[in-house]
Amino acid sequence: MAFLVLQYSPEVCAPWNWFGFRSETEILRQHDDDGFLPDRGHLIVELVGEGEPVPIGTVSWHAVDYGPPPTSRGWNIGITLVPEWRGHGHGTRAQRLLADHLFATTVAERVEASTDVENTAERRALERAGFSYEGVLRRAQFRAGGWRDMALYSLVRGEGAPLEG
Ligand SMILES: CC(C)(COP(=O)(O)OP(=O)(O)OC[C@H]1O[C@@H](n2cnc3c(N)ncnc32)[C@H](O)[C@@H]1OP(=O)(O)O)[C@@H](O)C(=O)NCCC(=O)NCCS
C-alpha cells in the first residue's frame, strides 16, 4: 500500500497519469486491501531475479460493461512504471502478463487499454504486447487543464503471440 501511495506523485505520474493531488484516503479508496474487487483491481509490478524482488510500478484494471455482465464485461487496463525502469521492455511485458492473467481468471473476451494519442511509449508498448489499434476516443479524458483524445487498443482472447522468456 505504501508503494501505491508513494507512486501517485507528479514525479512518477506526470504527464500521462497525473490528475492532481489527492489524499491518501482517496488513492486507497480506489483499491481494496488485497488489490482485488469484483469490478477492479491492481497489482504491483516487480522485477524478479536474484535477491529481493524490486517494485518498479503498478498495473490496474477495471470493468467495462458493453451489455449485461458477466458475458459482455471486458477489462480496461492501465500502467505506471517509475521513471528509472522505463524503456527496458517491462511495460510491454507487464501489460501482456496482466492481460493473460485476466483471460486466465475471468470469462472476459476482451481486454482494452486507452492512452493519450501523444503517448508514443504506451502506444508502442501496447502494440508490442499484441494489442490492436481500434480508433480515437475524442476528448475522452480531462487532464492538465484540457480534454484529451485517447487512442483505444484491444486484445481479444486467443490473440497475440505468446511472450518470449
Ligand atoms: C508507457 C510505459 C508503461 C511503457 O513501458 P516501457 O517499459 O517504458 O516501454 P517499453 O520498454 O516496453 O517500450 C515500448 C516501446 O515504446 C518505445 N518507447 C519507450 N519509451 C519511449 C519514449 N519516451 N518515447 C517514445 N517511445 C518510447 C520503445 O522504444 C518501444 O518501442 P519499439 O518497440 O519501437 O522500440 C512506461 O513508459 C510508463 O510507465 N510511462 C509513464 C506512465 C504512462 O504513460 N502510462 C500509460 C498511461 S495510459
Q: Which domain holds residue 31?
A: 2-156
Query: Which atom of ligand 1 is closest in space to residue 80's alpha carbon?
Result: 39
pLDDT over 80 (residue 36): no
125 Cβ inside 6 Å of ligand 1: yes
Query: How do residues 6-25 score in pLDDT, each as one tens digit?
Result: 889 999 999 999 999 998 88
pLDDT at 135 over 80: yes
> Is residue 10 situated within a structural domain?
yes
Please give the Cα distance from 40 to 23 (Å, whole number): 20
The count of structural domains within the chain is 1
CA angle 15–155–97, rounded 5-degree value: 75
Q: Report, as an integer, the average pLDDT of 130-146.
A: 98
CATH code of the domain covering residue 146: 3.40.630.30
**Residue having the nearest C-alpha atom to atom 34 of ligand 1:** 124
Pocket test for ligand 1, best of 92, 118, 164 (most atoms within 8 A of CB): 92
Q: What is the pLDDT, as a whole number, of residue 161?
A: 82
Name residues whose C-beta falls within 8 Å of residue 76's C-beta, 6 or more positions apart in sequence.
Answer: 61, 62, 63, 64, 111, 112, 113, 114
Helix pair angle (90-105, 120-128), 10° resolution: 50
Contact call for residues 131 and 153 (beta carbons, < 8 A): yes
Q: What is the pLDDT of residue 156?
A: 98
**How sure is the predictor about 1, in pLDDT bands with cuts at 50, 70 and 90?**
low
Residue 80 lies in a domain: yes
Is position 165 within any domain? no
Give the predicted TM-score (pTM) of the model. Answer: 0.93
| pLDDT for res 79 | 98
Measured CA distances, 26 to 1, 29, 137, 140 (Å): 13, 5, 27, 22
pLDDT of residue 38: 83
Residue 71 resides in a domain = yes
User: What pLDDT, on a 0 to 100 scale, did the predictor assign at position 130?
Assistant: 97
Residue 163 lies inside a defined structural domain of this protein? no
Kindly state if the Cβ of 119 falls inside 6 Å of ligand 1. Answer: yes
The mean pLDDT of 91-115, rounded to a whole number, is 97
- Nearest-CA residue for ligand 1 atom 10 is 89
Does 118 fall in a domain? yes
